[in-house]
Amino acid sequence: MSLQRKWFYDHVAQTSEMALGLEVKQTEGVFIYDVDDKRYFDLNSGISVSSLGHRHPEVVGKVKSQLDKYLHTMVYGEHIQEPQTSYARMLTTILNNHLDNVYFVNSGSEAVEAAIKLARKYTGRFEIISAAGAYHGSTIAAESLRSDTDYTKHFVPTIPGVMHIRFNEEGDLAMITDQTACVIMEPVQAESGIIVPQGDYLQKVQKRCRETGTLFVLDEIQTGFGRTGYFFAFQKYKVQPDILLIAKGMGGGMPIGALVSSKGILKTFASQPALGHITTFGGHPVCVAAANATLDVLSRENIICLVAKKENIFLERLLHPLIKNVRSSGLFMAVELTDAACLTPAINAIYQHRVIVDYFLFHDAAFRIAPPLIISEEEIHEACDLILKALDTIKKG
Ligand SMILES: Cc1ncc(COP(=O)(O)O)c(C=O)c1O
């Protein structure tokens, strides 16, 4: 065992008893290289983060030039920092709607926390509605949005006032009332195994929110920045959130998140009382510099418009007796197996073939494929060949 591996298991806290334990040496594009120079296809993008691939040259360039100017200068929201102002201007120009104000935070979970506070303060209401089978983060308020009580029972009390509706069940929308501060929802449910909204479901949610004066919060922390083939999934599914939550792919590999809303809503944080949300490092200039490069590349290059074509290649190639179906929204895919007992052997065999795919939190028979959006057609074919070869080695139980 290498010294690094020993120190990892001895001194770095683990989140499970089955860490993947890939010892990283270097990354480039869609590949991660281990210390033995073995090359792995990263078909997860580090859970929907590396949309531009690893170490995109423009992201690295902007980070390096920001390092030469300044790092942290003051807690968020006091100093004028060019990376933040340029980013907020560019993103809100691209959005070109009422989402004209950006509050920078550090992560997806913090964006969710802040959205809950913002919605309660803005509406003066208490109740929050989220969808069963959603994952919105790991802080206590974000975990309170989880419907899986077998998990949350270990962390009680979760925050009060949270109710769950079933995703795609129109009948449940009556639970949204004039007591509801906000509905928080993913446009495509990620951790339940890529569950897409059926028909005009999201539009109906939005309509019910408008009727009851409830804020409609869309968590695009996984779906944002081109993952579904549109800049944001709300554009694909033709809705307009009051608050948009972003993180993950936003930073091109650097940690950052944000709430995007109207100035009218976001100014709620600024008075009565002021400092409605405080974050020391939110919108760190180096991370926002990386986000600027990411946004620049995505808006300039033909990346998002090729997502649907690449999605189709995966769908055409991923045919195997062990594969029951593939659900997808762009390069955001769940490969469901015919037998749940085969899931762990399949993920392990795929890894042995040097392709990284991953579990979903709430689906016991499907694995996740969410590759960097810059993956080439050739690379997709090569990765699919390896996946199919790996599945050939699995014996049905
Ligand atoms: C949809 C969604 N929301 C929120 C989060 C939390 O983001 P973070 O891990 O950056 O706190 C995640 C993380 O996986 C997510 O998938």
CA distance 358 to 91: 30
What's the rounded Cα separation, in Å, for the pair 283 and 175? 35
Sequence-ordered list of residues with C-beta below 8 angstroms from that of 228, at least 6 positions apart, any chain: 187, 188, 236, 307, 329, 330, 332
Contact 150, 141 (CB under 8 A): no
Instruction: Read off the amino acid at residue 84.
Output: Q
* Cβ neighbours of 31 (radius 10 Å): 17
What are residue 350's DSSP bridge partners? none
Domain spans of the chain? 3-56+303-392, 58-300
Of 51, 147, 189, 221, best ligand 1 pocket probe by most atoms within 8 Å of the beta carbon: 221
DSSP state of 227: T
Closest ligand 1 atom number to CA of residue 112: 4
Contacts (Cβ under 8 Å, ≥6 apart) of 345? 394
Residues having CB closer than 6 A to ligand 1 are 47, 107-109, 112, 135-137, 186, 190, 219, 221-222, 247
| Contact predicate 285/66, CB 8 Å | yes
Cα of 135 vs centre of ligand 1, distance in Å, is 7
How far apart CA 259 and CA 241 sit, in angstroms, is 11
Residue 35's pLDDT is what? Answer: 97
Determine the atom of ligand 1 nearest the C-alpha atom of 257: 10
Instruction: Give the closest residue (by CA) to ligand 1 atom 5.
Output: 137
137: left (phi over 0), alpha (psi -120 to 50) or beta: left
Stated pTM of the model: 0.98
SS3 316: helix
We find that the CATH architecture of domain 58-300 is 3-Layer(aba) Sandwich (3.40)
Q: Whose CA is nearest to atom 14 of ligand 1?
A: 137
Which residue, among 145, 252, 241, 228, has the nearest Cα to 202 in the 3D structure? 241
d(CA 305, CA 212): 36
Ramachandran region, residue 214 (left: φ > 0; alpha: ψ -120 to 50; beta: rest): beta
Beta-carbon contacts of residue 88 (< 8 Å; ≥ 6 apart): 101, 102
Reported as a single tens digit per residue, the pLDDT across 174-199 is 999 999 999 999 999 999 999 999 99
**Cα 225 to Cα 291: distance, rounded to the nearest angstrom:** 11
Q: What distance in angstroms lies between residue 109's CA and the mean position of ligand 1's atoms?
A: 6
Out of 222, 250, 254, give the residue to mutate to test ligand 1, the one with the largest number of ligand atoms within 8 Å of its CB: 222
Q: 108 CA distance to ligand 1 centroid (A)?
A: 5
Which string of DSSP letters, residue by residue, matches 183-218? EEE-SSBTTTT-BPPPTTHHHHHHHHHHHHT-EEEE
Per-residue burial over 293-325, b if 16 or more Cβ lie within 10 Å, else e, is bbbbbbeeeebbebbeebbeebeebbebebbee
Q: Which of 3.40.50.10740, 2.40.30.40, 1.20.140.10, 3.90.1150.10 is the CATH number of 3-56+303-392?
A: 3.90.1150.10
Q: Where in the chain does DSSP place strands (E)?
A: 24-28, 31-34, 39-42, 101-105, 127-131, 162-165, 180-185, 215-219, 243-246, 257-261, 323-328, 333-337, 355-356, 358-359, 366-369
Closest ligand 1 atom to residue 186 Cα is 1
Give the pairing of strands 101-105 and 323-328: unpaired
Ligand 1 atom closest to 191 (CA): 16
Segments in the chain below pLDDT 50: none
Q: Which atom of ligand 1 is nearest to the CA of 47?
A: 14
Q: How far is the CA of 250 from the centre of ligand 1 (A)?
A: 12
Centroid of chain to Cα 26: 23
CB distance 30 to 374 below 8 Å: yes
Strand partners, 185: 218
Cis check: omega of the bond before 241, within 30 degrees of 0: no
221 to 109, 110, 124, 183, 185: CA distances (angstroms): 9, 11, 26, 16, 11
Judge if the upstream peptide bond of residue 157 is cis by omega within 30 degrees of 0.
Answer: yes
CA of 342 to the centre of ligand 1 (A): 27
Contact 375, 355 (CB under 8 A): no
**Which is the closest atom of ligand 1 to the Cα of 220?**
1
pLDDT of residue 397: 59
